[in-house]
A and B are shown apart, each in its own frame.
Chain A
Amino acid sequence: MCGIAGVIHRDGTADIGAELTAMLQAMKHRGPDSTGYAVYGPADDLVVIRFVLAEPNHSTGFGMEERLARNRMEVEARLAKIGAEVATVTNDTGYAFRATVRYSGELKPLADYLEDVPGCEVLSLGSSLEIIKDMGDASTVSEQYGLGSFRGTHGVGHVRMATESEVDLASAHPYWAYPFADVAVVHNGQLTNYHQWRRRLEQSGHRFQSECDSEIIAVYLAEKMSGGLSLETSMKDSLDDLDGVFTYVCVTGNELGIAKDEMAAKPLVLFESDELVAVATEEVSIRTLVKREVETRDPYEREVLVWQV
């Protein structure tokens, strides 16, 4: 059991960090193990890289501080070597970093080169996407990463109750669609043809950060879109290609879409107005955003809906 939430502002930027935190905290009962955000700030010329150099569970201990400092220097050296001009590197925790760089090359070699550094995992890459995830509930993670002041146009979040994989960062959502910029997914459910799709996508050259079935959706969609399909068409195709019970939300630089499997087994509630679209596993989450009686609905089976910023 997990909880997912998404919000898209059609009329400009808003405090989406604080909004998503309130939405996710209201669903803490659906998953207290880890919390994650994929938030979109205003796009600019810089590439934003969110990366970690250790799992939070293993980020302390003998010699760890020196190792993290050494690996951070190695990441910065590699960025310079691959032609990325570093503008800023900030450190939210001892192990999680945010870098902005001037870089016009391919993202895949950049991600691969960085992930060659011991312990390094690139959480997100793009011109506006930032993925933040860690252990604990939404308030804890938001405070840890200063998300309360994050302004942007749209985003998604996830609270996780670990059922089939570890309580660790690699298994926490959202998932970035490596190596495609600005695409992320949160998912509630189980995919039963995970191994089949993982083998297929690995043979196409993709790598996976985790053993979590949800990561398949992100990479699957990104591959479809890189072949020229729209987000909506890619999501509709996924209803035939992915087996299992699932509701997921996919976000790109300018879109947010939801998809529900053919059994409608996993919940989702939708609120839509001229200014705002909000989706969540439970209405109690949306009510943190819109503090009045609102017209909401549960999308039906095999429904795919996409909204633009």
Chain B
Amino acid sequence: MAGVGSRSGVSYDARGLVEPHAEMPDNIEVDGGRARFDAADLTIRQINMALRKLIYNDGIVDVTVLNPSSKHSLAVGILKRCRIHFEGSPGWFACGLIDGPEVTINGRVGWSLGENMMSGVVVVERGGGSLTGAAIRGGDLIVKGDVGARTGIDQKGGTIIVMGDVGINTGFMMQRGRQIICGNAGANLGDSMYDGQIYVAGRVSSLGVDCVPGEWTDADAELIERKFRVHGLGKPPQFEKFVCGKQLHNYDSLEPSERKLVI
């Protein structure tokens, strides 16, 4: 069955599973510490194999991937400091679980960009799908266009900056970290959040359960100005701050082990 569906660059085995195609691509150009290759005719597995070999085995610190063609799960799990450039649009789950890379994407992205990312920087020149920055632990994730619903759901750290609008349930159950939204925010912003800060420059359709306006401090202004300066995003607009009201979850109770010690 190999080759079925190859028009899209994706093929499947007889069970309907994605065909592994484990051959290393032969179109990689290396120049010193830099490398580039065209991913148009490569499978997802081949692209990721090439990235890992170049970064981990060959000591390459700067890789350019041409024509990712909206393929899924690219540059996932790279745990080393390096630079990766996508000339085009990756698909879903791009840059998930990364720890260290600086990634630039000269296109848009599908759902779940940078899911569970631990550190590093991801900059997307256009928009993104839903679940952008889901459960990120650290690092900076910047999208210069609009993104879909549930941005930063379950966020545990790091900073998400969206220069456009965000959809419904942004910041749902976020636990730590910051979201800086330059456009409008859909309904239920910060619903059931535990902690963290959400800054919105545009209109907020509605606040979610236990999300309340927060007190603006100098530290907030300093943080936003620094992030905009570092990433070359221009002059930041005026933001409103939203935080957790701390009424929904039981914050004042001690953990069972602590309670035992007190007793």
Q: From known contacts A28-B16, A298-B130, infer whether A284 and B148 are also in contact, taking CB-CB under 8 Å.
A: no
Quick check: is B233 within 8 A (CB to CB) of the other chain? no
With beta carbons under 8 angstroms apart, the residue of A28, A269, A288, A300 that contacts B168 is A300
Interface residues of A in 8-60 (CB under 8 A from B): 22, 25-26, 28-29, 32
A287 touches B70 (CB 8 A): yes
Give the complex CA separation of A6 and B148 in angstroms.
Answer: 20
Q: Does B107 contact A (CB under 8 A)?
A: yes
For the complex, is A106 an interface residue (Cβ under 8 Å from B)? no
Task: Report 14 cross-chain contacts, Cβ distance below 8 Å, ordered by A residue.
Answer: A25-B4, A32-B12, A264-B148, A267-B111, A267-B129, A282-B70, A282-B72, A284-B8, A293-B89, A298-B167, A300-B168, A301-B168, A301-B186, A301-B187
Q: Which residues of B contact A (CB under 8 A)?
A: 4-5, 7-8, 10, 12, 16, 18, 69-72, 88-89, 91-92, 107-108, 110-111, 126-127, 129-130, 146, 148-150, 167-169, 186-187
A139 at the interface (CB under 8 A from B): yes
In the docked arrangement, what's the CA distance between A264 and B69, Å? 24
Contact of A25 among B8, B92, B148 (CB under 8 A): B8
**Once bound together, how far apart are the Cα atoms of A265 and B5, in whole Å?**
27
Question: Cβ of B149 and Cβ of A301 under 8 Å apart?
Answer: yes
Using C-beta atoms within 8 Å of the partner chain, give the interface range for chain A: 20 to 34
* Residue A263, interface by CB 8 Å: yes
Taking CB atoms, residues of chain B closer than 8 Å to A28 are 5, 10, 12, 16
**What is the CB-to-nearest-CB distance from B37 to chain A, in angstroms, rounded to a whole number?**
17
Contact of A282 with B110 in the complex, beta carbons under 8 Å: yes
Residues on A with C-beta less than 8 A from B8 are 22, 25-26, 284-285, 287-288
Q: Say which residue of A26, A29, A301 sits within 8 Å of B167 (CB atoms).
A: A301
Given A282-B91, A283-B91, A300-B186; A293-B130 close (CB under 8 Å): no
- Which residues of A are found within 8 Å of B129, using beta-carbon distances? 267, 269, 298
| Distance in angstroms between the alpha carbons of A296 and B5 in the assembled complex | 23
* Interface members, chain A 272-308 (any B CB < 8 Å): 282-288, 293, 295-298, 300-301
Bound-state CA distance A211–B89 (Å) is 39
Assembled-state Cα–Cα distance A288/B89 (Å): 14
Interface code A112-155, partner B: CB below 8 Å = 1, 0 otherwise? 00000000000000000000000001010000000000000000
Closest 5 CB pairs of A and B: A26-B8, A32-B16, A264-B149, A283-B70, A25-B5
B169 and A263 form a contact (CB under 8 A): yes
A299 CA to B8 CA, complexed, in Å: 24
Q: How far, in whole Å, are A293 and B91 apart by their CA atoms in the complex?
A: 12
Interface pair B110/A283, CB less than 8 Å apart? yes
